[in-house]
Chain A
């Protein structure tokens, strides 16, 4: 079997398994999986920038929150229906990432991390400042009655699961295609060595800029999907914690692999879920597990699988 065929089979297999899981697992795990798939969209977006382009952002919560507030505020304040509101969320996060990318890419390395973090903090404080509309930390609920697209109630159990599946499948396949495209190859070349890529004839700045926009837009889609499917938007999602989480998920799953973000998100989610059942010191268990994984599988779970023989793993 050729590498491409194996990759495609893996992608189809992952999606088939995710769709089939709904019919197999309990309602409790259905809910978890829906949440994991939506958050994995966020990780997929983050991975495009970090894993494939080599740009470590500490401000992705801004893009996630831009999508979330774009959808939530347009529904609650402007009375938009769910579908147009979803588009507003996506377009708003694309716009925010275009502005942040334009300014932040004047820096590189540690400075880029700090600048993106500062932008995200500014976004977080803005959400708190305009608490009259955003209700700050407390957040606001998006009414169940308005969470409908084409007559489908997205708050219903099965609908929510398959909507989350749809969002994940869309971003997963889109990024899998993107990283195999000439654009994706160039991103990898830039990640490997910017100067060499420039010398070979690539507009490094423009490629990185487009990567920031694509990554921010996918993250925004995740934020909008989260608000739409779970009916809540709040400033917590704009906090620094939500900038660190996608980094953690991608590192755990394997940066620069298409399957890594899903693995990392699911692993971290269930690690917290299971550890909290066993002990109140569950964060200690989570922390230790992450330290061990980082020590013994520094390339993440899928990176480690790739190193141990599955060379074709995308």
Chain B
């Protein structure tokens, strides 16, 4: 279980998070919703240690992630799929996967598992990542993160700029991971892409978690969406 407890974080002098707390349970997709600049991406970066915490803690199964160096966190089976995919463009699909596999030396079994999940990548193993389509690049970003066999997976706008068929593919993969017990924290702008897969939703406003509720409740109560997101 991932527990984010009252974290404060800042970019230099600019404070972005003000005592934000969330809990992501195993086998759940927990979605962060909020307007631009609300602090969703900063929350994800803070969990990964990429933005230093001013106070508060991040723990996973009782271990303090906030006391670790950023590069140590993926070794604890916390995977991040950042906004914009962030692949190694010059490297081939296979080399990108190897970079992911080497973090925990998860080996061929993990590689086969992710290639079974995304068969299209198997056909493009020797192709440089830069030459893949947007959807395939996102598949590769997800596949690379899965190479560490994560217990917790953080995704920052994974469907951004993708065509509907690709979005559906990513959604299916997330559902499958959830069913396997992975705790998933999903940051999304597209409400339609979220509410159909999420189990719980947290609304982030001005760096605070103002409300957490089951996804079906958010679907029913459109007033909440209007209040927090202006839609």
A interface residues, Cβ below 8 angstroms from B: 3, 182, 185-186, 188-189, 192-193, 196-204
- The answer to whether B70 touches A200 (Cβ under 8 A) is no
**Interchain CA distance A189-B86 in the complex, whole Å:** 12
B63 within 8 Å of A by Cβ? no
- The answer to whether B102 touches A186 (Cβ under 8 A) is yes
B interface residues, Cβ below 8 angstroms from A: 48, 50, 69-75, 80, 82, 86-91, 95, 98-100, 102-105, 126, 144, 148
**Interchain CA distance A198-B144 in the complex, whole Å:** 14
Least distance between A264 CB and chain B CB atoms (Å):
21
- The answer to whether B102 touches A203 (Cβ under 8 A) is no
- The answer to whether A198 touches B70 (Cβ under 8 A) is yes
- The answer to whether B71 touches A203 (Cβ under 8 A) is yes
List of B residues within 8 angstroms of A203 by Cβ = 69, 71
Select one of B48, B86, B126 contacting A196, CB under 8 A.
B86
- The answer to whether B99 touches A200 (Cβ under 8 A) is yes
- The answer to whether B91 touches A199 (Cβ under 8 A) is no
A-B contact count (CB 8 A): 52
**Interchain CA distance A261-B229 in the complex, whole Å:** 57
Known: A185-B95, A185-B102, A199-B74. 18 other contacts (CB 8 A): A3-B126, A182-B105, A185-B98, A186-B99, A189-B88, A189-B91, A192-B91, A196-B88, A198-B70, A199-B70, A199-B80, A199-B86, A200-B74, A201-B71, A201-B72, A201-B73, A201-B104, A202-B103
List of A residues within 8 angstroms of B70 by Cβ = 198-199
Select one of B72, B102, B144 contacting A182, CB under 8 A.
B102
- The answer to whether B103 touches A200 (Cβ under 8 A) is yes
Residue in B closest to A203 when the chains form the complex, CB atoms: B71
**Interchain CA distance A198-B82 in the complex, whole Å:** 13
List of B residues within 8 angstroms of A197 by Cβ = 99
The residue among B72, B100, B103 with the most chain A CB atoms within 10 A of its own CB is B103
List of B residues within 8 angstroms of A185 by Cβ = 95, 98-99, 102
Residue in A closest to B129 when the chains form the complex, CB atoms: A192
**Interchain CA distance A201-B98 in the complex, whole Å:** 13
Residue in B closest to A189 when the chains form the complex, CB atoms: B99
- The answer to whether A188 touches B103 (Cβ under 8 A) is no
- The answer to whether B91 touches A188 (Cβ under 8 A) is yes
Known contacts: A189-B88, A192-B90, A192-B91. The answer to whether A199 contacts B50 by CB under 8 A is: yes
